[in-house]
Chains A and B, each alone.
Chain A
Amino acid sequence: MSKLANFLRNLDLTPDEIAVRARLPSERVRMILEGRDANLVELRALARALKVPLRMFVQKNEDNSDLALLFRSTTASRPDLGVENAAAFVQAAISIMPKRQSPPEWLSGFEFREESYEEAERLADAFRMMFTPNRLDEPLYDLPDLVVNLGGVILGQLESSRFEGASVISDGYAFIFVSPRFAGRMLFTLAHEIGHLVAHHREGRSVVFDLASQIGGGRRYKSKSEAFVDSFASALLMPARGVGIALRQIRKSFHIQSDEVGDIEIICLARLFGVSFDAAALRCEKLGLLPRGGAISLSEILRRNHGSPEKRADTLGLPKRPTIIIPRVSQNLLKAAGERINDGKLSLGWVTDRLACSANDVFAARSAPEAARGSHH
């Protein structure tokens, strides 16, 4: 029997269901199931329909590895191409990067005690004290580079997935996956996943996948853990003193006399700290600058009256949000992959397929100046 027929026969799907999903004639799918050879166009249609990479049709060992099974068990039974790709990414990265015996040393500098708001603030402050001691109150637009340069951290993007962020500890490396979205949202997701690394991941292998509703969700959290890491992310990106200093300057610049914090101040804070309006408003609420429920109310008013907080900001001519670059794949991994390609151990196509990046990303990492690479591992 053909490899493809073998794979398809093991699915819990009828020929008609496969045909509908792949938009292929039922008769043709039946012929393929009986062992007739498909062509590459049909193969790609089937892979797309089944949400699996092409290599899944043949790579039994990789497919059933502990890591892939762990990823699938964490994300329940519904197929998710992003989860499969993230498992392949981690597996590929481990094979590319130098071996590590234990998770990044810097993680052991955090002593996690309990999932409380105060503890999230304390850990975020500790992170700032350890890694940005000279800019405790400033925005962290460079958080992607900063966290990679701490060592043992690899960033990737979570595409074609219902999940928005993920963090993984495996084989001594910490992996953070962020779904491609608006930059402010991605920065918050990154900080959220760092929160998981600091508080929830322990030795060995562990995986956390976060749905959009679990990140920056205000009071709609399904778990205490997610509320905790959101508080961490919020405090890390918008330190209390930094918010206070910025707010004073904003109010002075706009000659705002009112005692209450309004939409203009929050939009300015959001753009200054590189986060969304909702994230900035919730932070203000946590800091007691807005009444309880004020963040959601303000957000709803802006959406109703102006379309969105961003449109309101543009109408007022407020300063733009700075450019925040969250790479598809961190430079440390791309650089190591480039060395393996150069040695002829791996092919460029293998690397771009597994790391879900383009050949141009790999080329750019090789041509980037050494100083900008952040190639610690």
Chain B
Amino acid sequence: MMSSLRARLQRPLVDLIIDASSIINLDNAQALELVAGLSDRTIWLSPLVIGECKPTCAARIVQLEKEGLIRFVNPESVSAETFLSLLETYDLGEGETECLALSLGHPYVMCCDDSKARRIGTKLLGPERVIGSLGLLKSCVSAELISPKQAFDLYELMKKAGGFLPLVASEWFSQPD
């Protein structure tokens, strides 16, 4: 326990930008609050993500923002030319492209559960700056917020709700990164 706490305290604070695919997966497992509780991350969202969510999820996001557990990015910091170039080159959705554009201008770690967007994110940002909602659950296990079994149950809820997620076993959540 102490070593884990020491490890957490030693970790640098990471700016994490989460796109709609991951937010919806996390919300489908009711895991938004859990992830927002990771002490070594500052969670950022585009305000547009709210429009993608169900009303209950949107309300939770607004509440978490009020509590200071998540923050909204400022789209004014994104250059239209960069955005349009990315949109034209990679043919992703507008939300995914916004996340990429923001991550090119700031050292965000991009959290996304879409396979194509992750592939492009990895190419442009490097693999160490791309993560998915399962990676966040794994971080919650590392931070001893939940057990590997609980992480697996949350993953199963996400899959059952239609999430685009890889097949993983329960043990995956307890393996080191």
Contacts and interface: CB of A to CB of B under 8 A. Distances in A.
Interface in B67-124: 75-81, 83-85, 87-88, 91-98, 101, 114-117, 119
A363 B119 CA distance: 20
A39 B80 contact: yes
A349 B84 contact: no
Given A41-B75, A364-B162, A365-B162, A348 B84 contact: no
A341 B93 contact: no
B142 interface: no
Contacts of B119: 344
Interface in A123-140: none
Contact of B92 (A42, A347, A359): A347
**Chain B interface secondary structure, helix, strand, loop or mixed?**
helix
A119 interface: no
Contact of B76 (A40, A58, A358): A40
B75 A44 contact: yes
Contacts of A348: 20-21, 93, 96, 114, 117, 164
B130 to A, nearest CB: 14
B52 A352 contact: yes
Contact of B81 (A4, A41, A349): A4
B7 interface: no
A362 interface: yes
Contacts of B168: none
Interface of B: 19-21, 24, 28, 52-54, 75-81, 83-85, 87-88, 91-98, 101, 114-117, 119, 160-164
Contact of B80 (A4, A360, A364, A365): A4
Contacts of B98: 40
A346 B162 contact: no
Contacts of B164: 338, 341-342, 348, 366
B101 to A, nearest CB: 7
A38 B95 CA distance: 18
Interface in A1-36: 2-4
A327 B21 CA distance: 21
B54 A3 contact: no
B80 A40 contact: yes
Contacts of B76: 39-41
Contacts of B101: 40
